[in-house]
Amino acid sequence: MEISGSSAVVVGGTGGMGEATVRRLSAAGAHVVVADVNDEKGKALAEELGIRYLHTDASSEDDVAAAFAEAATLGPVRISVDVHGGPAAGGRLLNKEGQPHKLEDFRLTLESYLISPFNVTRLAAAAINKTEPIGDTGARGVIIQTASIAGFEGQIGQIAYGSAKGGIISMTLIAARDLSPAGIRVNTIAPGMINTPAYGQAGDQLEAHWGPQIPHPKRMGKPDEYARLAVSIAENDYLNGEVIRLDGAFRFPPR
């Protein structure tokens, strides 16, 4: 698929991996809409790159639909990347006092990391489906979701987050099959330890802790490595229904 001239929505586009993806897509010639809740950073990024920013709560049907509607005014909507964050609750199934994990905390985490991504995916599909297919291939576009290696081997205390990310992993092939008649591909990136600017000075401490544990290369990942993979997925028409780990062969230990 040709990125240049296509419209793309990046939900969570002001975060580390999101911003890197916005920059890569914009450099490739896409008309990008940054959809996020960090207005200050979003507006600054839009002004710098000559793109659009729209305040977007990923859990809101109206907000997400508006972001894709905005993208449609710029060109054919063919690319959706969802890398938004949100509140997440940690904790064991039973704490040291024998109290069970709070149900409301589990619900909160699933709302942020599974239900909201589903909301983005379904609305992205509806928007891309309105776009004319490319030539005689029937291809319309691609949806890229973001999981985590915690969805495969979550650590102790990650039962809520790991369940949410595991849900995205399970969603990928089903969504790809569901959307095949529409010519819409669905793929998921499952990052490992990515050192984003959000960590600030703590990023150095995380690098010192996690970097030596990564088999190769012995460092945390970079946001641009996520972005480069997202662009590659968008360009490769035969990549569909796949979950790609981006983790330097790292596997989470139990704790």
In the chain the first and final C-alpha atoms are separated, in Å, by: 41
- Number of structural domains the chain divides into: 1
pLDDT digits (tens, 9 = 90+) for 206-247: 999 999 999 999 999 999 999 999 999 999 999 999 999 999
User: Which entry of 113, 161, 199, 238 is annotated as an active-site residue?
Assistant: 161
Indicate whether 199 pLDDT > 90: no
Share of the chain above pLDDT 70, in %: 100
Does any domain span residue 199?
yes
pLDDT band at 20 (very low <50, low <70, confident <90, very high): very high
Indicate whether 154 pLDDT > 90: yes
The single-letter code of the amino acid at 36 is D
Does any domain span residue 233?
yes
- 167 CB neighbour count, 10 Å cutoff: 17
Residue 146 sits at φ, ψ, to 5 deg, of -125, 120
Q: Give me the pLDDT at residue 23, please.
A: 98
Q: Which residue has the tokens 């092939």?
A: 173
- Mean pLDDT, rounded, of the chain: 96
Structure tokens at 213: 């544990």
Indicate whether 157 pLDDT > 90: yes
Bond prior to 217 in cis (omega within 30° of 0): yes
Does any domain span residue 1?
no
Is residue 226 part of the annotated active site? The answer reads no
Indicate whether 135 pLDDT > 90: no
Q: Give me the pLDDT at residue 171, please.
A: 98
Average pLDDT score over residue span 128-149? 96
Residue 115 lies in domain: 7-246
Does any domain span residue 36?
yes
Q: Which of 29-38, 61-70, 197-206, 213-222 has the lowest mean pLDDT?
A: 197-206
> CA–CA separation, 160 vs 169, rounded Å?
14
Does any domain span residue 254?
no
Does any domain span residue 2?
no
pLDDT digits (tens, 9 = 90+) for 67-115: 999 999 999 999 999 999 998 889 999 999 999 999 999 999 999 999 9
Supply the CATH number for residue 99's domain.
3.40.50.720
For residue 39, give Cα distances in angstroms to 53, 55, 69, 149, 219: 8, 6, 19, 29, 31
Does any domain span residue 253?
no
pLDDT digits (tens, 9 = 90+) for 158-174: 999 999 999 999 999 99
